[in-house]
Amino acid sequence: MNVSREMDLLETRRQLLGKGAKAIGLAALSSLMNGATTHHTPTAKRVIWLHQSGGPSQLDLFDYKPQLVKHAGVDLPGSVRMGQRITGMTSGQKTLPVAPSIFKFERAGRAGVWMSDAIPHHKKIADEMALCLAVHTDAINHDPAITFIQSGSQQPGRPSMGAWVSYGLGSESQDLPAYVVLLSQQASINADQPLFSRLWGAGFLPSRYQGVRLRGGKEPVLYLADPPGVSRTDRREMLDAVGALNRMREAAYHDPEIDTRIQQYEMAYKMQASVPELTDFSKEPASTFQLYGEDAKKPGTYAANCLLARRLVERGVRFVQLYHKGWDQHRNLPRDMKLQCEASDQAASALVRDLKQRGLLNDTIVVWGGEFGRTVYCQGPLTDTDYGRDHHPRNFAMWMAGGGFRAGFSMGETDDYSYNIVSDPVHIHDIQATLLHALGIDHTRLTYKFQGRWFRLTDVHGNVVKKLLA
């Protein structure tokens, strides 16, 4: 057997072109990462995204509509709906009765933004928030809507925003992934929507950029610990041997996934030491749990994950995605929203305050929001004390804090029914473009070629919302 000849045969035209593409890609990425981080001076280095999965009702939290009381139980006027599509869950109802919020509102902060009594702790961070009341999206059902806000496309398969940020900026941490995902279970009684790992996937980007999920409990990362009888020295020797074999394979095939495999093995080895220290809250002072609440002592809760998010960014993690399930109140909204807010309100507020007192809020963006809002009309039976709301993509509320966003500011206005946007509409692609801009990235220039086309997070859309920036 002629070994030299065999290696020549492996050098196919596709592999040769792949080598060239890989070199160009590495050169482009190296160019992107030169200097501070990028295309322009950033105001932020990292992101914590608090995603309230299911679609929290803007009408019951931020978009105060006191005039709805006089329209209670009256069918939504056709002049407001204007024939816009609604879901199959309410399209068969004989009427679409208006349901005013059962919660009380009051102004908070220097700007006097309206907030309901369901989120009293949010009022403590009103002067840190840039509240946007006129966000809108394209999707009307959960799966395409959450896929859209996470990846810029309603169709599965695109890289998540965390993956794009990880690809563009790399990691500041040597022993933790650049992109970490945390899930907290619902506090509401009604069943919640499922979450799929593709939501934090890398899509067509190299898989090293996908999110790494940390779980609550004794084993935050599955299969991270060495099996009985395998010492730290044994593990190191095994990784060195496997790494040498992988590098030989990579030299022959130039497959970027082999590089990813090598790096992931090394990261897992480092995480064996870093993750136990990260998830050990025993050295946190009592004041921390007074701030976040006692739930922060229970792994997997929203409060514990908010505290963990702070500890992650302290250690250089670039993008933390926290999903809080259970915000899909088609029925029993007053009961379930109260439960959801009780589980999350204090912790979200504490996270912002904690970051600020540690000097981290200046260059960390905290994002709060869901995949869409809720309808002003009731889904199901309407009573004086109970109602439900269907999905509503035409307007909903999100807020950002820190990282160069305008503090103590509110923008956007909806009509008297919180059904249509009256001023300052902000599309999901605009939110994505603005977040990238704060990180120093021009969203039109962070691209990746796949199947003959250059892709980006915002597709061919998106504008930076300068009003939201300081």
Our CA dihedral for 221, 144, 135, 365, rounded to 10 degrees, sits at: 20
Residues 6+ apart with CB under 8 A from 54: 142, 192, 193, 325, 326, 327, 328, 329, 370, 371
Distance of CA 183 to CAs 8, 303, 304, Å? Answer: 49, 11, 10
Distance CA 329, CA 331 (A): 5
In terms of Cβ atoms closer than 10 Å to its own Cβ (0-12, 13-18, 19+), residue 441 is buried
Our CA dihedral for 64, 351, 194, 117, rounded to 10 degrees, sits at: -30
Are 212 and 351 in contact by the 8 Å Cβ rule? The answer is no
- The number of angstroms, rounded, from the C-alpha of 108 to the middle of its chain's C-alpha atoms is 26
> In the chain, what is the greatest distance between 2 CA atoms, to the nearest angstrom?
89
Q: Which helix (DSSP H) or strand (DSSP E) does residue 429 occupy?
A: helix 428-438
pLDDT, averaged per 10 consecutive residues of the chain (470 residues), comes to: 45 45 44 59 98 97 98 97 95 96 97 97 98 98 98 97 96 95 89 89 95 90 86 89 90 88 87 93 97 96 98 97 97 97 98 98 98 98 96 98 98 98 98 98 97 96 97
Placement of tokens 């000097």 in the chain: 359
Q: What is the three-class DSSP state of 414?
A: strand
* AA identity, residue 449: K
- The number of angstroms, rounded, from the C-alpha of 247 to the middle of its chain's C-alpha atoms is 34
Domains of the chain and any CATH numbers = 35-219+286-468 (3.40.720), 221-278 (no CATH)
pLDDT at 32: 42
Distance of CA 337 to CAs 190, 301, 330, Å? Answer: 11, 16, 11
Task: List, in sequence order, every residue forming a beta bridge with 17; answer none if it has no partner.
Answer: none
pTM exceeding 0.85 = yes
Q: H helices within 227-385, ranges in order?
A: 232-253, 256-278, 286-292, 302-314, 333-357
Are 395 and 360 in contact by the 8 Å Cβ rule? The answer is no
